[in-house]
Amino acid sequence: MTVPQHVAIIMDGNGRWAKLRGRPRIYGHVRGSSQVRPIVRECGRLGVKFLTLYCFSAENWGRPSGEVSILMRLLEKYLVRERRTLMENNVRLTAIGDISSLPQHALSALRETMAITSKNTGLTLTFAVSYGSRQEIIEAVRTLAQEVRSGVLHPGQINEEVFHKRLFTKTMPDPDLIIRTSGEMRLSNFLLWQSAYSELYFTEKLWPEFTITELHGAFEEFTRRKRRFGLTEDQSQPKAPEVNIVL
Please state the separation of Cα 185 from the chain's center in Å. 16
Nearest to 46 by CA among 90, 2, 91: 2
Contact 233, 37 (CB under 8 A): no
Catalytic residue, from 14, 60, 159, 176: name it. Answer: 60
Q: Answer yes or no: 189 catalytic.
A: no
Angle at 86 between CA 85 and CA 90, to 5 degrees: 120
For 179, phi and psi rounded to 5 degrees? Answer: -105, 135
Q: Answer yes or no: 14 catalytic.
A: no
Residue type, 102: L
3-state secondary structure of 124: strand
Catalytic residue, from 12, 14, 89, 174: name it. Answer: 12
Contact 13, 57 (CB under 8 A): no
**How far is the CA of 118 from the CAs of 15, 54, 111, 168, 213, in angstroms?**
32, 20, 10, 17, 30
Nearest to 189 by CA among 108, 70, 98: 98
Kindly list the catalytic residues: 12, 60
